[in-house]
Chains A and B, each alone.
Chain A
Amino acid sequence: MSTINLKVNGQPHALDLDPATPLLYALTDEVGVGGPKFGCGLGQCGACTVIIKGQAVRSCVTTVKAAQGADIVTLEGLGTPGKPHPLQKAFMDENAAQCGFCLNGVILTAKALLDKNPKANEGEMQQALSNVLCRCFTHTRMLAAINTYAKSKAGAR
């Protein structure tokens, strides 16, 4: 065990952890955020995604040691139910969820791509989401929500 310093959604956390601990467990069990979720533990599905340095990162296969010092953004770091981020709002407006377990991975992956490349085309978005799963298959609505947001973002520029 050693002291691990994580910065999550702008808040610093000093945690006493095994440095090899997957970041996901530190976020859910120690920091207490609910956005990132355990899907596969293998980096295959996207449910555990967080944004670090502008990249969508799989927190289930990232150690806390590797994440030290960086700004870690989780789904709740984007907005709140009362004041959602426009991308979250677009998902709400589309009713773009069934069980909702995948939303964390879908929203954060799309956000990371659009932050980097606001004019991402359909193929680039598909590529970014090619390792993100939704087993309820809410795909149509989720892509519609992402497109609505991407258009509004492009329009606002």
Chain B
Amino acid sequence: MKFTAEAQMALSRRNFLKTSGAIIVGFSAASQISSDAFAQGGPSPGAPAMGQVDSWIAIAADGSITAYSGKEELGQGISTAQQQLVAEELSVPFERVKLIYCDTALTPDQAHTSGSQSHPVNFNNSNLGQAGATAREALLQMASQKLGLPVDQLTAAKGVIQARNDASKKVTYGELVAGKKFNLPLSKTAKRKHPREWTVLGQPLQRPDMPLMATGTFEYVHNVKVPGMLHGRVVRPPVPGATVVNVDEASIKDLAGVEKIVVRKNFVGVVAQKQFQAVQAAAKLKVEWSKGTGMPDQAGFLETLRQAQPSRDILLVDSGDSAAKISGAATVVKASYIHPNQMHGSLGASCAVADVQGDKATIYSATQGVWYQRSACATLLGLKPENIHVMFRRGSGCYGLNGADAATYDAAILSQAAGKPVRVQLTRKDEMAWENYGHAHVMDERAGLDAQGNILAWEHEAWIPAKGNRPGAARPGNIVTGSLLGFEPDTFQPRTPAPAPNAYNNNSNGIPSYVAGRVKGMNQGTGTIASERVLVHNLQSPVFTGPLRSPARLQNTFAHESFMDELAAKVGADPVEFRLKHLKSERVIGVLEAAAKAAKWEKRVSPRANAKTGTVTGRGVAVVAYEGDNGYTGIVVEVNVNQQTGKIDVKRMWVAIDAGPISNPDGLKQQAEGGALQGMSRALGEEVTWDREKITSVDWRTYHSLPVGFEIPKIECVLVNQPDEEATGAGETSITVIGAAIGNAVFDATGARLRQIPFTPERVKAALNARG
């Protein structure tokens, strides 16, 4: 592998993330919204040491292998890939490995499972993969001593090490380890299997959880039962900001089975013997609430953000000359884009089980961070963290910070009050009215082009309201339950003007792929445009917000990739060629060309000369380097637009994805497919709504997700294998590009430009009418 100085700098950032012992949560100076990627690596006190093989791998006397990971299965397929990884590095069959993840009694603290970090942190040269390689080398050394042969004359397969020339000289892993521990630090030099040598990794294996899921026998957190378990329900305020004035406990005194009414500040919940009793008790409990704090008028709310104060301003790049370059350019193009708050909208409303007994607690949670959850629950319960055992159990797909952490806090509080184990099931409305929504963005793009159609300068300015975030170890007030209990969310720290950037950070894809990304004299971006400025205004939000699959990256990329299309159209250039002309990263170019090739892209200047009535067809393209360098996707989509109704039908998609060496092609393909369709649902219909008092999108009639029974586009995936590169993220790339690609396809078909998500028929019709 050869790296340029710039690439090495980018790699060193990833190495920092992989190996960092620092936990950085909340706003970081350089980060835009979510510092997920920076919240990697613990360890919490008492967690298994990250640098010890025994924290990751155990080999029993019978040769069975248990691997321990701090990265959990949320549905993204990473547990299958991790099991493949360990089997590969230890030269054993896939089935020989049992993988345990995210249990504070057993597994290393790898912070959250989030931010597309599981693949890079565990499959590159540290953590789980390196532990496997270290263990294999240690086993070979042990075998060398035992058999009296040099290591280079030994070979390992299926858990047996034998002499290359004499099959009778052999010893099993189980015999070598003999029930003991390795007691060995992770070796930095332990040689990893090269992707070209892989026999287990790289295979499209069936997910081991598949037979269980398909037969209703997989244990989700919703299925956890412990002896003596009671059922809890919470009573959330009717409107944001409302506080408890009075709780009339007598109002449910006639109900059977009620064990406990719990009121702590503004947290209200009930505990009953049976679930339906808890449901009835929560519904009938008479709670007097104060008036709420009110909500801003949603009509035009996002447009007001440009004037909103206070603001925390961040400059991601600034060449200092962009405004002058733009004003002096032959062609100037400006456009504004809007992205609303959207929901995680997990299919199953969140659930958790907690058993708090005296000074100890046992918690089953679908949290993305068991160790953080342990610390936060210690604060909520007044217990020592080491007395709390948190076990991950899968919930319904979360896509980021859904209600799982809130439900866990709810269960813990109710169990402590009841003195018995309590299962809390949130209602659909509890989930949807109070989750940490994906951030709304208002984005202005400006560019100047020369007479030959080259982009000379690009400016991006974004306004992003936020409130709360992942609660992490110490901020329970970042989510609803902690807030009701009286904890404060992350402190807002206004800052204007923004200081000059002191390190390159494209973690939030605020920086377009087409600019040079020059910070401290080094071009670290993926593009060629030397004159650039990206300014972000972080604002205060009326609703809780948090990371939703591809946080900020998706919103920024919608603006960048739509705008790039506008620029191409303005100068009469083909959208693919125009992108290629302003890119220098081979990885970005690679996925763009792969998608275009798969789609048999025909060179064009959009829009096509289609009729202005009836249903017309068009194609659009978009590309992203997720977080600047953590996964790559290019996409082409084909749409039909009904110009009478404004309805968009996405007919076909071609998705090219590059996540480094392909650990499991079927898993990678599934992430590409699922991300594209989920992103399509978000682009076409999903939007959090409110009136002047409260959230009004509180069920599946008021929040619009595409059902299983819609006309599904034909999806063709191109998996770009990079055996000589590092593993990158894979789960948040196709979802990031689909919105712009659909909008660009609509423009290609109709000449109408869509600049606000979701692309509802009303908005499409308005854009069609506006084209004249």
- A residues with CB within 8 A of B: 1, 17-18, 20-22, 25, 28-29, 32-42, 44-47, 74-76, 78-82, 84, 88-89, 91-93, 95-104, 106-107, 125-143
Contacts and interface: CB of A to CB of B under 8 A. Distances in A.
Interface in B421-476: 425, 427-428
A148 B542 CA distance: 48
5 contacts: A37-B396, A38-B351, A99-B75, A128-B709, A138-B670
Given A88-B214, A93-B206, 4 more contacts: A38-B222, A92-B206, A100-B214, A143-B708
Contacts of A132: 707-709
Nearest to A106: B708
B382 interface: no
B336 interface: no
B213 A97 contact: yes
Q: Report whether over half of chain B's contact residues are helix, strand or loop; otherwise say mixed.
A: loop
Contacts of B212: 81
Interface stretch (B313-321, B594-602, B674-682): B674-682
A135 B428 CA distance: 14
Q: Which of B347, B678, B706 lies at the interface centre, i.e. has the most chain A CB atoms within 10 A of its CB?
A: B347
Contact of B214 (A39, A40, A44, A97): A97
A87 to B, nearest CB: 9
Contacts of B712: 139-140, 143
B528 interface: no
B347 A130 contact: no
Given A41-B427, A42-B428, A127-B709, A141 B211 contact: no
A130 B709 contact: yes
Interface string B347-360: 11101000000000
Contacts of A142: 708
B207 to A, nearest CB: 6
Contacts of A17: 274, 276
Contact of B347 (A36, A45, A125): A45
B152 interface: no
Contacts of B710: 126, 130, 139
Contacts of B425: 38
A78 B214 CA distance: 10
A102 B276 contact: no
A143 B215 CA distance: 17
B428 A25 contact: no
B674 A136 contact: yes
Contact of A45 (B218, B277, B677, B700): B700
Contacts of B349: 38-41
Contact of A99 (B394, B675, B706): B394
A51 to B, nearest CB: 12
B74 to A, nearest CB: 7
Contacts of A80: 215, 217
A125 B211 contact: no
B218 A34 contact: yes
B517 interface: no
B577 interface: no
A40 B700 contact: yes
Given A76-B217, A80-B215, A97 B708 contact: no
A135 B214 contact: no
B215 A140 contact: no
Which 9 residue pairs across A and B have the least CB separation, nearest first? A35-B216, A99-B75, A129-B709, A100-B213, A75-B216, A99-B397, A137-B677, A98-B75, A81-B211
A47 B709 contact: no
B428 A133 contact: no
Contacts of A92: 206, 210-211, 214
B275 A29 contact: yes
Given A130-B709, A133-B708, A137-B677, A39 B213 contact: no
B216 A140 contact: no
B274 A101 contact: no
B210 A97 contact: yes
Interface string B709-727: 1111001000000000000
Given A40-B699, A126-B711, A81 B215 contact: yes
Given A40-B700, A44-B699, A132-B708, A84 B681 contact: no
Interface residues of B, number: 65
Contact of A84 (B211, B256, B670, B705): B211
Given A42-B428, A135-B346, A107 B708 contact: no
Contacts of A25: 274-276
B701 A98 contact: no
Given A40-B699, A45-B700, A130-B707, A91 B715 contact: no
A101 B347 CA distance: 7
Contacts of B708: 46, 102, 106, 129, 132-134, 139, 142-143
A149 to B, nearest CB: 12
Contacts of A79: 215
A135 B215 contact: no
A142 B210 CA distance: 13
Interface in B21-78: 74-77
A40 B428 CA distance: 5
A39 B348 contact: yes
B217 A91 contact: no
A141 B213 contact: no
A102 B701 contact: no
B220 interface: yes
B219 interface: yes
A98 B219 CA distance: 14
A135 B666 contact: no
A89 to B, nearest CB: 8
B223 interface: yes
B216 A42 contact: no
B227 to A, nearest CB: 13
B547 interface: no
A139 B666 CA distance: 15
B347 A102 contact: yes
A101 B397 contact: yes
B154 to A, nearest CB: 36
Contact of A37 (B75, B209, B222, B399): B222
A130 B217 CA distance: 25
A127 B709 CA distance: 6
Nearest to A110: B708
Contacts of B680: 137
B274 A29 contact: yes
Nearest to A144: B712
A21 B210 contact: no
Contacts of B277: 18
Contact of A101 (B214, B396, B670): B396
- Most chain B C-beta atoms within 10 Å of own C-beta, residue among A1, A42, A78, A143: A42
Given A91-B214, A97-B207, A132-B707, A140 B348 contact: no
Give the interface centre of A33, A126, A127 by most chain B CB atoms within 10 Å: A126
B237 interface: no
Given A37-B222, A41-B428, A133 B674 contact: no
A106 B428 CA distance: 19
Contacts of B274: 17, 21, 25, 29
B661 interface: no
A75 B231 CA distance: 24
B674 A100 contact: no
B548 to A, nearest CB: 12
B82 to A, nearest CB: 16
Given A40-B428, A136-B397, A140-B673, A78 B215 contact: yes
B276 A137 contact: no
B678 A135 contact: yes
A78 B217 CA distance: 12
A103 B677 contact: no
Interface in B346-389: 346-349, 351
Contacts of B707: 129-133
Given A42-B700, A84-B215, A102-B347, A135 B705 contact: yes
A141 B351 CA distance: 27
A91 B710 CA distance: 19
Contacts of A37: 220, 222, 348, 396
